[in-house]
Amino acid sequence: MLSVVVFLPLLVGLVLLAAPRPRDGVVAWSWVAAAALDLLLVVGLWAYYPAAAPDTGLGDFAYEERLLWIPSVGASYHLGVDGFSLPLLAMTAVLFLACAVDSLRQRRRARAHAVLFLFLQTVSMGLFSALDLLLFFVFFDLSIVGMYFVIAGWGHGRPTRSALQFFLYTFLGSLALLLGFIGLYVAADPHTFDMVELTAGTPLEGRGLAGGLVLLAIGVGLAVKTPTVPFHTWLPPAHTDAPAVGSAILAGVLLKMGTYGFVRIAMPILPGAWVEYAMVAVVVGVVSVLYGSLVALAQTDVKRMIAYTSVNHMGYVLLGLGAAGLAAGERPEAASLAVTGAVTQMVSHGLLTGALFLLAGALHDRGGTYDMGSYGGLAARAPRFAALAAVAFFGSLGLPGLSGFIAEFQIFAGSLGPVPVPTALALLGILVTAALFLRALQRLFLGGPGPCTARVGDLSARETAAIAPLLALSLLIGLAPHFLLDRIEPAARALAALVAG
C-alpha cells in the first residue's frame, strides 16, 4: 500500500513521458489528478492508522513493507510510517497538489515540468517513509538531482549558476551523510543499514569519539539540507532564481528532509552522542533563528526575505530537538513537548512557506519583479491577494489561531526549562520576524502605489484554489490541533524515552 502511495506519481509521470505528444491541458490535468489521488491515499493511510497503544515504542511502524534489495551490504527496501512520518507525508501530498493546481497554466515545456515534479513527489514520499539508511540516502540524493533540473530548466535570473551552486553544496551534505551512514553500518553487528535494527541496537552507544564523529558527519549532512547557519548560503540564490512552484517544494518539502533526518536517524540511532552534543544543536538553532530573522529584515526582495525566514523557522526546530536531548533524562515531559513542537513546526512551515512562495510567484507573474519597493497599495487593487498574503504572513510570524503558534509555543514551552537563556534569545527572533512581516505587509499592500502596482490584478481562481487550502489547513491546525498532535505525540514520547536511555 505504502509503495503505491510512493510510486504512483512516478508511474503517472512515466505514462506521460511515453504518451505520444500529449496536449498541455491533458498533461496538466493528469498531474493534478495524480497528485489528488495520492493525497486521497494518504488521507486513507491517516484514517486507518492503527491507534497507538500507550506504551508504543519507537520501532512500531504501520504499513510496513520489507523486501531484500542488496543483501550483500545489508540494505533492504524497507518502508513504514509512524507519528513523525505520516504528518510529513500528508503535508507533502498537499503541497504537491497545490503546486499541480498552480501550474495548470504552465506553458513552458509543460510535460517535462509535470514529469519532473511527479518524480520529485515520489522521491519526497519515499524519503519520508524509508526505514533503511541506504534507501533514505537514495531518495535524499535524487531530490537534489530533481530540484537541480527544476531550477536550471525553469528558473529566472541566473538559474544555471544558482542551480550549480545548489547541487554542489547540497551534494556535499549528502556525501557527509553517506559517510556517516557507512560509519553506522560498519559499527553495527551484524552489519546493516536498517533503521529499525540500528535503533534497537544503537551500535555506537558508549563508543566515545566514534559516535561523535558519525554524529558530526550525519549532522553536517542534515544541517546543509535544513539549512542552518553556517551552511545556509546556498538557500537564498536557489530560492531567488527558482520558479515559484520549485521554491514552494524546495522550502516546503526538501528542507524538511534535513530536520526529519534528525528525528528519524540522528536522535534514535545515536542517542548518547545526541545528548552529549545537544548543546551544539541548541546553539546552532538559536544562531539560525536570530541570524535568519535579522538578515530577512534587511531584504528588499520579497522572495529572499521569505527564504531567510525559512532559516529562522528551521532554527526553532533545531532548538527544540537540542533542548529535547538535554531534557530527556530528568524532564521527559518537556522533551516530548519540544519534539512534538518541532515536528509540528515542520508541517506548519511546509504549509505556510508553500503558500508564501506561491503568492510571491503570483506577484512576479504580474509585476515582473520581487522588489518590494516597486509595489505599494496592493490591498485596494487585489483584495483577495492581500487577504491571503496577510493570513500567510501572520501565520508565519506565529499569531495564535494559526499553525505556527501551536508549533512555536510547544517548542518554547519544552525548551524553556532545560535551556532558559537560549530560549529567551530565540524569543527575540519572534519579535524580529513579526517586525519584518508587518513591514513587508505595509510596503506591499498599504500606502501609495508603486511603479509596478498598476500591473497587479487580483488572484485568479486557479491561484486561489492552489493557495487558499494551504492556509485553511494552517488555520485548522491552529484552531483544532488535536487531529495532528494525536499522531505526533506518541512518537515524540517514545523518542524522548529512547534518548533518555
Could you tell me which stretch among 169-177, 235-243, 285-293, 464-472 binds other proteins (CB under 8 A)?
Answer: 169-177
Burial code (b: 16+ CB inside 10 Å, e: under 16) for 299-322 equals bebbbbbbbbbbbbbbbbbbbbbb
Of 148 and 308, the one with the shorter C-beta distance to other proteins is 148
112 and 33 Cβ atoms separated by less than 8 Å: no
| Per-residue binding letters, 103-142, with other proteins (x by CB under 8 A) | -------------------------------x--xx--xx
Residue 136 or residue 393: which is nearer to other proteins going by CB?
136
Question: What are the backbone angles phi and psi of residue 491, rounded to the nearest 5°?
Answer: -65, -40
Number of CB atoms found within 10 A of residue 50's CB:
9
Query: Is residue 186 a contact point for other proteins (CB under 8 A)?
Result: yes
Does 468 sit near other proteins (CB under 8 A)?
A: no
Among 178, 196, 411, 491, binds other proteins (CB under 8 A): 178
| Residue 191 beta carbon to other proteins: minimum distance, rounded to whole angstroms | 8
State CA 129 to chain mean position distance: 14
**In angstroms, what is the minimal distance from the CB of 310 to other proteins?**
24
Q: What is the rounded end-to-end Cα distance, in angstroms, of the chain? A: 34
Q: Which of 152, 346 has the CB closer to other proteins?
A: 152
- Distance between CA 419 and CA 103 in Å, rounded? 44
Cβ nearer to other proteins, comparing 33 with 73? 73
Cα–Cα distance, 52 to 74 (Å, whole number): 30
Mention every residue, 6+ apart, whose C-beta is less than 8 A from residue 89: 5, 42, 45, 81, 125, 128, 129
Q: Is 216 in the site for other proteins (CB under 8 A)?
A: no
**∠ Cα 446 450 456 (to 5°):** 85
Establish if 145 lies at the interface with other proteins (CB under 8 A): yes
C-beta of 225 vs 381, nearer to other proteins: 225
Q: Provide the β-strand partners of residue 130.
A: 79
Nearer to other proteins, 111 or 366 (CB): 111
| Single-letter amino acid, residue 188 | A
**Can residue 175 be called a binding residue for other proteins (CB under 8 A)?**
yes
DSSP H or E segment with residue 67: strand 62-70
Q: Is 69 in the site for other proteins (CB under 8 A)?
A: yes
Q: Is the CB of 179 or the CB of 390 nearer to other proteins? A: 179
Sole binder of other proteins in the list 19, 70, 421, 472 (CB under 8 A): 70
Report if residue 71 touches other proteins, rule: CB under 8 A. yes
Tell whether residue 15 is a contact of other proteins (CB under 8 A). no
Binding of other proteins at residue 184 (CB under 8 A)? no
Residue closer to other proteins, measured from CB, 43 or 73: 73
Rounded least distance, CB 129 to other proteins, Å: 17
CB 339, CB 492: distance < 8 Å: yes
By beta-carbon proximity to other proteins, the closer residue of 178 and 282 is 178
| C-alpha to C-alpha distance for 365 and 244, rounded to whole angstroms | 9
CA distance 264 to 247: 25
Counting residues that bind other proteins (by CB under 8 A) gives 30
Question: Binding residue for other proteins (CB under 8 A) from 43, 108, 160, 298?
Answer: 160
The footprint of other proteins on residues 414-443 (CB under 8 A) is: none
Q: What is the dihedral of CA 249, 147, 322, 46, to 10 degrees?
A: 50
- CA dihedral of residues 231, 269, 317, 389 (deg, nearest 10): 90
DSSP-derived 3-state class of residue 457 = coil
Contact at 8 Å (CB) between 367 and 452? Answer: yes
> Which stretch, 159-167, 226-234, 238-246, 263-271, contacts other proteins (CB under 8 A)?
159-167
Q: Interface with other proteins includes 190 (CB under 8 A)?
A: no
Which residue's C-alpha cell is 502596482?
453
Q: Which is nearer to other proteins, 130 or 382 (CB)?
A: 130
CB of 104 to other proteins, least distance (A): 23
Segment interacting with other proteins, rule: CB under 8 A, options 149-157, 257-265, 407-415, 439-447: 149-157
- Does 73 contact other proteins by CB under 8 A? yes
What's the rounded Cα separation, in Å, for the pair 368 and 364? 5
CB of residue 69 to other proteins, shortest distance in Å: 5
Structure letter (DSSP) for residue 189? S
Q: Is 182 in the site for other proteins (CB under 8 A)?
A: yes
**164 or 475: whose CB is closer to other proteins?**
164
Helix, strand, coil proportions of the chain in percent (round to 5)? 75, 5, 20
Does 444 contact other proteins by CB under 8 A?
Answer: no
Residues 371 to 400 in contact with other proteins, rule: CB under 8 A: none
Phi (first) and psi of residue 317, to 5 degrees:
-60, -45
Q: Which of 358, 359, 385 is nearest to 459 (CA)?
A: 385
Distance in Å, CB of 182 to other proteins, minimum: 5
User: How many Cβ atoms sit within 10 Å of the Cβ of residue 255?
Assistant: 24
- Please tell me whether residue 29 binds other proteins under the rule CB under 8 A: no
Check residue 164 for interaction with other proteins (CB under 8 A). yes
Find the shortest distance in angstroms from Cβ 263 to other proteins. Answer: 23
Which positions lie near other proteins, rule CB under 8 A?
68-73, 75, 134, 137-138, 141-142, 145, 149, 152-153, 160, 164, 167-168, 171-172, 175-176, 178-179, 182-183, 185-186
